[in-house]
Amino acid sequence: MAVVIRWISAIMAVLIGLPTLLGAVFQSLTKIGYDERPVQSISENFLEGNTSFIDEATSEYWSAGYARRILTPEDIEETRYFLGGFLKFPAQEATGVIDDLCVRAVVLDDNSGRRAAAFAWIDGVGFMNADIKDIREKLSDITGDGKLISIDVGSTHNHSAIDTQGLWGNIPKSGRNQKYIDSVVQKTADAIREAYNNRCEGTLYYSSKACPELFYDGREPYSIDDKIHLFRFEPNDSGKKEIYITNFGAHPINLGWSNTEISGDFPYYIEKEVTTEKNADFIFVQGAIGGAIHADMGVENGIPEELSSYEKMKEYSRIVAGVLYELAEKGEAVEPVLNVKHAQIDFEVNNFIFLLAESAGLCNVKAFKEDGKVYLTSEIGYVEMGKNIKIIEAPGEALPELVYGGFYSAEEAYNGTEYPYKGIETCFDEDDEVLVFGLCNDAVGYIVPDNDYSSSGDEGHYEETVSTGSKSATAFSKAFFELLGKWG
């Protein structure tokens, strides 16, 4: 009976929304009906970061604070929620809860007097820039006077979480539940505020390890950051917990296409291992996952093939936690230097599917028209920590070659051309550690190099269907080379 109800509901959503869908198709095809660039609304609640960078520490210690909030709604049994990440018809409705969805926040300050920076990552497939600006608005009392110079909010890209974008409902009906979005906004702001108030002095350590066996790249050319990165904050006060800030790139999609229950996936279970074994606070920051980079749960990692997807995911989490314990033992102290800078970026929207989603109002994004083309404005960011840690903040799922190089040549690429930029990593010295914080401050989909972009749905080109379009990568590269030319 439940299946029948789902089908009837999905069909009714299509029929009721047919006028909206047809109007969206017309607008997407003709580009009629878009407003001009909304300058004021774009700049509202955009935080530029530091006005100047420093090269040397002015303090002996870092300050850091942590907080966490559970996002799982209490009315999960009574209210319809859609899972975000797998496009299905009828849309995938949540039928229960395996474990909790969370938002985790950490605030860092180099005690240079230039104020602190907040980083929060939400268990969700993606969180839109307009929603993130709502989070900043709720914290305006501690940003307006310069206490927090930067607020970066990202998504883990979890496919077993409630739809936070709107793309995963019974189209043309959005999958966003506004009450839930409002709750996520408020709880994320609360977590950041608490982390800010929880700051204490201590030492920050960094270490990384290449673990190629734990990841696989689902799209050629094979370019990947195969490292697990760990920042470990050790407070001077022995009565306070350490903080583990973990970064690597892998899709949390391990419960699979058929799963209908909410789960935090591997970030939740890595956290569970770390908090149990080390009594430490934990935050997972997603990396460069473009190209469908997944966690490798094969038998070569010692994960028995006969286990269920859920059991494999838990075993994978245990393995990653073991790597973190190893890294925690050999971390090197990071000099208290924190530089943060953000820039706004315009993405041309010429992917019909993305245009259709925007025109139908599925997600909280407002495109505009300029010189006959449709754009949306997003953000990029750049962070320096210590002497040689450089962090690229990408507003979507950037293909790793955009940062680390390894592009297809003209002979290999779909469009038979060279990509006009080098990897962003070339801006830095050989001994610099270059990390990516992915889906940061927006969720604009996959960022695919222009020379290998296909709009025809060819095999091996799935990522293009969830992309702003064929110019997203050059806009991304150009904006970063300009930003780093001033601040890198």
* Same domain for 362 and 240: no
Residue 11 pLDDT > 70: no
In this prediction, residues 202-231 reach a mean pLDDT of 95
DSSP-assigned letters across all residues of 160-222? TEE-SSSTTSSTTS----HHHHHHHHHHHHHHHHHHHHT-EEEEEEEEEEE-GGGEE-SSSS-
Same domain as 215, residue 70: yes
Asked if residue 458 and residue 382 are part of one domain, the reply reads yes
pLDDT value of position 180: 97
Q: How far is CA 317 from the centre of its chain?
A: 19
- The Cα–Cα gap between 440 and 126 comes to 9
Let me know whether 430 and 328 are in one domain: no
State the average pLDDT over residues 86-91: 72
**307 and 399: one domain?**
no
Instruction: Give domain status of residue 6, yes or no.
Output: no
CB burial readout 313-334, b (16+ within 10 A) else e: bbbbbbbbbebbeebbeebeeb
Q: Please spell the DSSP secondary structure of 315-383, one letter per residue.
A: HHHHHHHHHHHHHHHHPEEPPS-EEEEEEEEEEE---HHHHHHHHTT-SS---EEETTEEEEEEEEEEE
Do 353 and 224 belong to one domain? Answer: no
pLDDT tens digit sequence for 440-463: 999 999 999 999 999 877 878 888
> In the structure, what pLDDT confidence band is assigned to residue 6 with cuts at 50, 70 and 90?
low
Spatial CB neighbours of 397, under 8 Å, sequence gap ≥ 6: 157, 288, 289, 290, 438, 439, 445, 446, 447, 463
- How is the chain split among helix, strand and coil, in percent rounded to 5? 30, 25, 45
181-205 burial string, b = 16+ CB within 10 Å, else e? beebbebbbbbbbbbbebbbbbbbb
Shared domain check, 317 and 231: yes
* Residue at which a domain ends, from 333, 365, 399: 333
What lies within 8 Å, CB to CB, of 255 at 6+ separation is 98, 159, 160, 261, 263, 265, 309, 310, 313
Residue 224 lies in a domain: yes
> Cα 227 to the chain's mean position, in Å?
17
Question: What's the mean per-residue pLDDT of the chain?
Answer: 91
Q: Which pLDDT belongs to residue 196?
A: 97
Residue span of the structural domain in which 372 resides: 25-44+337-487
Helix (H) or strand (E) holding 485: helix 472-487
Torsion of CA 330, 336, 341, 347, to 10 degrees: 10
Cross-strand bridge partners of residue 209: 228
Q: Is the pLDDT of residue 8 over 50?
A: no
Lowest mean pLDDT among 31-45, 114-128, 132-146: 31-45
| 51 within a domain of the structure (yes/no) | no
Q: Are residues 321 and 350 in the same domain?
A: no
Q: How many domains does the chain have?
A: 2
Determine the residue type at 258: S
Neighbours of 112 (CB within 10 A): 16
Distance of alpha carbon 292 from alpha carbon 446, whole angstroms: 9
- Asked if the structure places residue 420 within a domain, the reply is yes
- Give the closest residue to 163 by CA, choosing from 121, 124, 120: 124
Q: Which residue has the higher pLDDT, 428 or 218?
A: 428
For position 258, what pLDDT does the model report?
85
Q: 286 and 348, same structural domain?
A: no
* Over residues 423-446, mean pLDDT: 97
More confident residue, 14 or 337: 337
Tokens 């222009």 map to which residue? 450
Q: Is residue 53 part of a domain?
A: no
Q: What is the pLDDT of residue 1?
A: 47
Give every CB contact of residue 5 below 8 A, 6+ residues apart in sequence.
none
How far apart (Å, rounded) are the C-alpha atoms in residues 484 and 487? 5
Please check whether residues 281 and 220 belong to one and the same domain.
yes
The answer as to whether 12 is a domain residue is no
pLDDT band at 21 (very low <50, low <70, confident <90, very high): very low
Domain final position from 333, 363, 393: 333
Same domain, 478 and 447: yes
Q: Answer yes or no: is 227 within a domain.
A: yes
Mean pLDDT over residues 10-30, rounded?
A: 50
Q: How confident is the model at residue 256 (pLDDT cuts 50, 70, 90)?
A: confident
What torsion, rounded to 10 degrees, do the Cα atoms 473, 365, 257, 353 define?
-60
Question: Six-digit token pair at 212?
Answer: 């190629």
> What pLDDT is recorded for position 7?
45
Helix (H, G, I), strand (E, B) or coil at 58: coil
Integer Cα distance of 419 and 409 in angstroms: 8
User: Considering 284, 300, 333, which residue would you say is the last residue of a domain?
Assistant: 333
* Model confidence at 206: pLDDT above 80: yes
Is the separation of the CB atoms in 246 and 286 below 8 Å?
Answer: no
Is the predicted pLDDT of residue 145 greater than 80, yes or no? no
Say if residue 295 is in the same domain as residue 374: no
Is the pLDDT reported for residue 80 higher than 60?
A: yes
378-414 pLDDT, tens digit each: 999 999 999 999 999 999 999 999 999 999 999 999 9
**CB-side neighbour CA atoms (13 Å) of 421:** 24
β-sheet bridge partners, residue 202 = 62, 235
The mean per-residue pLDDT over the stretch 334-348 comes to: 97
Query: Distance between CA atoms of 250 and 211, rounded to whole angstroms?
Result: 12
The model's confidence at residue 16, banded by pLDDT at 50, 70 and 90, is very low
50 inside domain: no
Judged against a pLDDT cut of 90, whether residue 321 lies above it is answered with: yes
Residue 280 pLDDT > 90 = yes
Give the angle 224-225-228 at the CA atoms, nearest 5°: 140
- Cα Dmax for the chain: 66
